């Protein structure tokens, strides 16, 4: 039986989060009433002209530098001509022959296997408006608020070999662009949109199989699911002696199938040509150097630093660097407890994460600030409070963030006992009450020590420091 | 009595010395517009607004010193968006379009307190050389109303020639200012590409379109040009350079002047009568101390084919926005979306516009792009280089603006190629982005005006206008005005 290999390339459109549109001064904010954010230029009134928003260009350069691509010093805006009611000019301004970004790569990791996915290019273009088909009974509404929103279309090489890898590529890209602050990453609002080119071929065959294009798979899950079912469909067609038709297909998530949208024969001739309203887009070496200087530490670099310099486990480092906000939070917290990176990581990844999950909040909106969490970890590390006490403290802080750490420790009696006279009394009491166990230890069975420690802790109502108790017991027992 | 041949500079002085009021001037203009209504020079008039504005400016003049252009009545080609006024581009598809904003050129002239009387008739979307291709019927030439005024800015040219307004704006993509200026016996200037903002000027072919003006004399033109030139951040192709300041240098004609005369411009196709008048004008320059040299412009024969690939290509895309969705005409007989597009555009655009949209769509199509569009871009480069080489040897290039004088209405309507040849001497200038103008050089035996075409190096409008002014100080062709037959 033939073993099949799938070959996947993704085209991802990301909305750049510049304040104004790529060729007009109108706002790009999401969710306004229809057409209130469409100016003369977005509506394509007769006589209006585009002027390139350099903020969008800067973001494209940021992306290019972050993925190690070549920034083309001179790129060309072209017109992609087609008629559609939500495309006001009858053409989309895009880049075609010479994009602003060429090459670069993104690393994916599936089941511990790291693979590099090459990028073909990334180019700037404008978004279209929206057609509203279901809001009027006898007409289609046009909302041009989105028209002219800057997009960066990132085209990968056909280097992806599985649906899972495609989904991971999307996740990595999502993490990167939000990290870089060039995209808000909001998948529901369409800030990242993915088309996938999918083909299969027998393993070992060089020649690519006929591909289909899967349009608008706009969540990580749908990228994976959609590609998966499309791969299965193609294999089934080929194994039953059929041929793959080059076409555009849609993923129907309800039925978990893909279906044909339009064939190659319907492919449009977009009649691309350089937009005569826009001179070549020139970026200077100085500009690129400036962007390079301001480039934030990239997720992968930061992950490596967390592992190598702070001694975190890979799992912890990966989790902390999934978003820039989490990593920033970690680093601020770490300043309060600089000697316990592992502790800080653990408190964020486990305890705080659970509170955030439960309340559906991002770390940016965490009720407990990074400074306060760092203070909490410091108190646990230096033995002022126990781990259990820390959990109580976090609960208190979460419920009422206005309280100070110290006030809660006092109010809730979380401070561990460090008065040695009092502790000594408790230890002596426990030894007296448990002569058998005491004897066993003295006979060399050190395992029983834990029992005695537990008894002391119980007697102290949890306020004794277990390490101090253990030390004191050992001293008394002469071991 | 204000003579219909009055120059803008004279009217400006009369206004400043309060010998006449702006209201009188505007009322006289409207009287003449009415008297010359057969010219069909205007698509819309704003008499009420204009007279109100004139009164306001007359009042302001008693309080403060105003710009020399203040109170001057003007007309805009109906291709410039004017806030609150109809802007049709001579097309049915925009027959109901009232722009919500002013073109940069319009607002600049408004700031100078000029008075807009109305919008002038034109070939639909500036596509044509006769002003016959208008949804609002043909414009007529005031020298002989059975003849065309040239185009596409024929309404503006006819209005200035007949003395309806002292100045009017136009646009020039392949000769649309200079050719009608020649056929109507007035001065018409197309500045360097990028000098005048294209914002609010409805695009025909973006890389060639340039706004300019019609006036009686070069000095008038200098005054107008200084008002409309200048960088505009809303137009990415607008030049960030100092404006030409033509008025200051208008009397400073160069001490030494070498005029290049391309041999190709006097070859087959040129009406001998036109050729003689141009030769006489060149001799006049010689007698004024200029040196004439003969030039070769080997790629000039490719200008028209090159132009008729690039201009329609850009137009086919520029005119896509007229789809009946957001503004303008929409066909009543729509069925589905495709049908709505087809009907709207078939009914809304005239035949010449449709011809160019189809030509343009064809040359940009997959498989034809390299052979036509890309090739034309290479030819465009060669034409540009022809000019660069020529200007190493001379200061200005001169020749006829058009191969013939004005022709009969209807004479070339069935032969587009014959019509396109009207721009044979002018289109190359747009391809090269250079400043150029046409000035009256004389009249043929039937009394029809002939235009002298003058081309300057990039951004040298000031030199161009000062040389034209020099000629006009020694000739009076530009002061001749057609007389209304009663």
* Model confidence pLDDT, tens digit, residues B413-438: 999 988 898 899 999 999 999 999 99
Q: Which pLDDT does position A384 carry in this prediction?
A: 86
Residues of A in contact with B235 (CB under 8 A): 49, 51
Q: Does the pLDDT value for residue B221 go beyond 70? A: yes
Q: Which pLDDT does position B469 carry in this prediction?
A: 97
String of DSSP letters for A118-163: EEEEEEEEE---EEE-SSSSSS-EEE-SSTT-EEEEEEE-S-B-SH
Residues of A in contact with B430 (CB under 8 A): none
**Do A443 and A410 form a contact (C-beta atoms < 8 A)?**
no
Q: Which pLDDT does position B174 carry in this prediction?
A: 97
Mean pLDDT of chain A: 92
Does the CA dihedral B76-B77-B80-B84 come out positive or negative?
A: positive
N-terminal to C-terminal alpha carbon distance within chain A: 69
Q: Does the pLDDT value for residue A434 go beyond 90? A: no
- B297-321 b/e with 16+ CB inside 10 Å = b? bebbebbbebbbbbbbbbbbbbbbb
**Do A199 and A245 form a contact (C-beta atoms < 8 A)?**
no
A-B contacts (CB, under 8 Å): 98
Query: Is B99 within 8 Å of A88 when comparing Cβ atoms?
Result: no
B408 given a catalytic annotation: no
Question: Which whole number is the average pLDDT over B113-130?
Answer: 98
Q: Which pLDDT does position A139 carry in this prediction?
A: 85
Q: Does the pLDDT value for residue A419 go beyond 70? A: no
Query: Is A91 within 8 Å of B317 when comparing Cβ atoms?
Result: yes
Residues of B in contact with A269 (CB under 8 A): 365-366
Q: Which pLDDT does position A418 carry in this prediction?
A: 64
The whole-angstrom separation of Cα B141 and Cα A292 is: 63
Q: Which pLDDT does position B158 carry in this prediction?
A: 98
Question: Which whole number is the average pLDDT over B394-419?
Answer: 95
Catalytic residue among B91, B129, B131, B152: B152
Mutate to test the interface with B, among A47, A85, A267, A270 (most CBs of B within 10 A): A47
Question: Which whole number is the average pLDDT over A117-125?
Answer: 98
Q: Does the pLDDT value for residue B69 go beyond 90? A: yes
Mutate to test the interface with B, among A24, A35, A46 (most CBs of B within 10 A): A46
Q: Which positions ≥6 away from A2 have C-beta within 8 Å?
A: A202, A203, A238, A239
CATH topology of domain B8-259+391-479: Amidase signature (AS) enzymes (3.90.1300)
Q: Which pLDDT does position A479 carry in this prediction?
A: 77
Lowest mean pLDDT among A95-104, A449-458, B67-76, B87-96: A449-458
**Do B148 and B141 form a contact (C-beta atoms < 8 A)?**
yes
Q: Which pLDDT does position B1 carry in this prediction?
A: 66
**Do B170 and B126 form a contact (C-beta atoms < 8 A)?**
no
Phi, psi torsion values for A266, nearest 5 degrees:
-90, 0
Query: A309 to chain B nearest CA, in Å?
Result: 49
Q: Does the pLDDT value for residue B480 go beyond 90? A: yes
Question: Which whole number is the average pLDDT over B96-100?
Answer: 97
Structure tokens at B211: 């706004």
Q: What band does A47 get if pLDDT is binned at 50, 70 and 90?
A: very high
Q: Does the pLDDT value for residue A291 go beyond 80? A: yes
* Model confidence pLDDT, tens digit, residues A134-185: 888 888 899 999 999 999 999 999 999 999 999 999 999 998 999 999 999 9
**Do A375 and A336 form a contact (C-beta atoms < 8 A)?**
yes
The whole-angstrom separation of Cα B8 and Cα B190 is: 18
Question: Which whole number is the average pLDDT over B192-197?
Answer: 98
Q: Does the pLDDT value for residue A385 go beyond 90? A: no
Q: Does the pLDDT value for residue A455 go beyond 90? A: no
Proportion of chain A in helix, strand, coil states, percent, rounded to 5: 40, 20, 40
B333 given a catalytic annotation: no
Q: Which pLDDT does position B56 carry in this prediction?
A: 97
Question: Which whole number is the average pLDDT over B85-103?
Answer: 98
B77 given a catalytic annotation: yes
Q: Does the pLDDT value for residue B352 go beyond 90? A: yes
Residues of A in contact with B313 (CB under 8 A): 273
Looking at the DSSP bridge assignments, the partners of residue A126 are: A150
Dihedral, CA atoms, A439, A440, A445, A448, nearest 10 degrees?
Answer: -100
| Global pTM exceeds 0.80 | yes
In whole angstroms, how far apart are CA B408 and each of A229, B262, B416?
70, 29, 15
Question: Which whole number is the average pLDDT over A398-407?
Answer: 90
A154-158, A183-187, A454-458, B243-247, range with greatest mean pLDDT: A154-158
Query: Is A273 within 8 Å of B369 when comparing Cβ atoms?
Result: yes
Residues of B in contact with A40 (CB under 8 A): 100-101
Q: What band does A69 get if pLDDT is binned at 50, 70 and 90?
A: very high
Q: Does the pLDDT value for residue A460 go beyond 90? A: no
Q: Does the pLDDT value for residue A1 go beyond 80? A: no
Within a 10 A sphere around the Cβ of B28, how many other Cβ atoms? 18
Question: Which whole number is the average pLDDT over B385-412?
Answer: 97
Q: Please tell me if residue A93 touches chain B, with a CB cutoff of 8 Å.
A: no
What is the domain partition of chain B in residue ranges?
Answer: 8-259+391-479
Q: What band does A265 get if pLDDT is binned at 50, 70 and 90?
A: low
The whole-angstrom separation of Cα A37 and Cα A25 is: 10
Q: What band does A466 get if pLDDT is binned at 50, 70 and 90?
A: confident
Q: Does the pLDDT value for residue B287 go beyond 90? A: yes
Q: Which pLDDT does position B77 carry in this prediction?
A: 98
* Residue among A47, A83, A271 whose CB faces B202 most closely: A47
Q: Which pLDDT does position A454 carry in this prediction?
A: 86
Catalytic residue among B4, B22, B134, B176: B176
Q: Judged by CB atoms within 8 Å, which residues 338-397 of B form the interface with A?
A: 341, 361, 364-366, 369, 373
In the three-class reduction of DSSP (H, G, I as helix; E, B as strand; rest coil), residue B97 is classed as: coil
Q: Which positions ≥6 away from B57 have C-beta within 8 Å?
A: B22, B66, B70, B71, B113, B115
Mean pLDDT of chain B: 96
Q: What band does B4 get if pLDDT is binned at 50, 70 and 90?
A: confident
The whole-angstrom separation of Cα A470 and Cα A456 is: 9
Q: Which pLDDT does position A292 carry in this prediction?
A: 95
Burial classification of residue B116, based on how many CB atoms lie within 10 Å of its CB (0-12 exposed, 13-18 middle, 19 or more buried): buried
Q: What band does B486 get if pLDDT is binned at 50, 70 and 90?
A: low
Q: Please tell me if residue A1 touches chain B, with a CB cutoff of 8 Å.
A: no
* Residue ranges with strand state E in A139-226: 141-143, 150-156, 192-202, 212-215
């Amino acid at each position: 039986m033939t073993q099949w290999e799938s070959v996947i390339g993704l085209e991802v459109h990301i909305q750049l989060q510049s304040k104004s549109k790529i060729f007009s001064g109108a706002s790009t904010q999401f969710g306004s009433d229809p057409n209130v954010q469409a100016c003369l230029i977005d509506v394509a009134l007769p006589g209006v002209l585009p002027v390139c928003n350099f903020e969008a260009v800067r973001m494209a350069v940021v992306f290019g530098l972050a993925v190690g691509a070549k920034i083309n010093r001179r790129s060309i805006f072209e017109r992609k001509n087609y008629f559609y009611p939500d495309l006001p000019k009858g053409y989309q301004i895009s880049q075609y022959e010479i994009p602003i970004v060429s090459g670069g790569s993104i690393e994916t990791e599936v089941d511990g296997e790291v693979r590099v996915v090459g990028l073909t290019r990334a180019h700037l273009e404008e978004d279209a408006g929206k057609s509203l088909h279901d809001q009027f009974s006898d007409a289609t509404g046009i909302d041009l608020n989105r028209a002219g929103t800057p997009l960066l279309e990132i085209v990968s090489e056909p280097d992806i070999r599985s649906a899972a890898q495609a989904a991971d590529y999307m996740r990595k890209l999502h993490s990167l662009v939000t990290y870089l602050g060039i995209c808000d990453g909001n998948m529901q609002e369409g800030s990242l949109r993915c088309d996938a080119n999918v083909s299969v071929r027998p393993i070992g065959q060089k020649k690519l199989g006929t591909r289909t294009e899967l349009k608008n798979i706009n969540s990580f899950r749908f990228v994976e699911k959609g590609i998966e079912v499309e791969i299965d469909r193609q294999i089934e067609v080929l194994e039953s002696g059929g041929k793959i038709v080059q076409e555009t297909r849609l993923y129907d998530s309800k039925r978990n199938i893909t279906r044909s949208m339009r064939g190659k024969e319907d492919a449009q001739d977009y009649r691309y040509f350089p937009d005569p309203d826009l001179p070549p887009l020139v970026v200077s070496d100085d500009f690129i150097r400036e962007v390079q200087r301001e480039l934030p530490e990239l997720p992968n670099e930061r992950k490596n630093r967390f592992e190598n310099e702070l001694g975190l486990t890979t799992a912890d480092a990966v989790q902390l660097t999934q978003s820039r906000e989490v990593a920033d939070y970690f680093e601020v917290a770490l300043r309060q407890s600089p000697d316990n990176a592992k502790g800080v990581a653990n408190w964020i990844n486990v305890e705080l994460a659970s509170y955030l999950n439960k309340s559906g909040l991002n770390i940016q909106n965490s009720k407990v600030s990074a400074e306060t969490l760092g203070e909490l970890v410091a108190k646990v590390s230096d033995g002022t409070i126990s781990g259990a006490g820390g959990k109580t403290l976090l609960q208190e802080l979460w419920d009422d963030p206005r309280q100070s750490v110290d006030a809660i420790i006092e109010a809730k009696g979380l401070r561990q006992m460090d008065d040695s006279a009092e502790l000594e009394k408790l230890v002596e009491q426990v030894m007296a009450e448990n002569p058998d166990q005491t004897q066993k230890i003295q006979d060399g069975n050190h395992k029983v020590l834990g029992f005695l420690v537990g008894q002391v802790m119980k007697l102290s109502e949890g306020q004794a420091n277990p390490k101090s108790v253990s030390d004191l017991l050992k001293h008394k027992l002469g071991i | 009595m204000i003579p219909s041949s009055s120059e803008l500079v004279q009217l400006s002085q009369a206004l400043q010395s309060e010998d006449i009021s702006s209201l009188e001037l505007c009322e006289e203009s409207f009287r003449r517009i009415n008297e010359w209504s057969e010219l069909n020079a205007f698509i819309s008039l704003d008499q009420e607004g204009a007279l109100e504005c004139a009164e306001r400016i007359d009042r302001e003049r008693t309080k403060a010193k105003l710009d020399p252009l203040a109170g001057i009545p003007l007309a805009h080609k109906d291709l410039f968006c004017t806030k609150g006024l109809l802007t049709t581009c001579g097309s049915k598809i925009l027959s109901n379009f009232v722009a919500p904003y002013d073109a940069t050129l319009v607002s600049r002239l408004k700031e100078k307190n000029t008075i807009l009387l109305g919008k002038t008739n034109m070939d639909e979307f500036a596509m044509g050389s006769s002003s016959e291709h208008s949804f609002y019927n043909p414009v007529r030439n005031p020298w002989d109303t059975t003849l065309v005024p040239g185009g596409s800015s024929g309404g503006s040219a006819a209005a200035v020639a007949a003395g309806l307004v002292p100045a009017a704006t136009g646009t020039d993509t392949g000769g649309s200012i200079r050719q009608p200026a020649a056929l109507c016996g007035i001065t018409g200037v197309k500045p360097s590409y990028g000098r005048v903002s294209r914002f609010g000027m409805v695009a025909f072919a973006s890389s060639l379109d340039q706004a300019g003006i019609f006036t009686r004399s070069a000095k008038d033109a200098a005054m107008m040009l200084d008002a409309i030139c200048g960088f505009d951040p809303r137009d990415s192709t607008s030049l960030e350079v100092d404006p030409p300041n033509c008025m200051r240098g208008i009397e400073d004609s160069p001490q030494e002047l070498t005029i290049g005369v391309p041999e190709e411009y006097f070859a087959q196709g040129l009406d001998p009568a036109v050729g003689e008048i141009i030769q006489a004008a060149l001799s006049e320059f010689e007698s004024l101390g200029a040196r004439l040299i003969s030039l070769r412009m080997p790629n000039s024969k490719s200008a028209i084919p090159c132009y008729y690939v690039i201009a329609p290509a850009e137009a086919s895309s520029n005119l896509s926005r007229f789809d009946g969705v957001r503004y303008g005409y929409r066909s009543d007989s729509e069925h589905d979306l495709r049908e709505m597009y087809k009907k709207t555009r078939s009914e809304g655009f005239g035949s010449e516009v449709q011809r160019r949209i189809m030509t343009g769509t064809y040359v940009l199509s997959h498989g034809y792009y390299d052979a036509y569009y890309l090739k034309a871009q290479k030819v465009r480069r060669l034409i540009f280089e022809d000019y660069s080489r020529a200007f190493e040897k001379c200061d200005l290039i001169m020749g006829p603006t058009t191969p013939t004088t004005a022709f009969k209405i209807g004479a070339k309507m069935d032969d587009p190629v014959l019509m396109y040849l009207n721009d044979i001497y002018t289109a190359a200038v747009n391809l090269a982005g250079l400043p150029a103008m046409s000035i009256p050089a004389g009249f043929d035996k039937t009394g029809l005006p002939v235009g002298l075409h003058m081309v300057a190096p990039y951004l040298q409008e000031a030199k161009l206008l000062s040389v034209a002014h020099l000629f006009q100080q020694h000739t009076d062709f530009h002061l001749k005005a057609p007389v209304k037959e009663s």
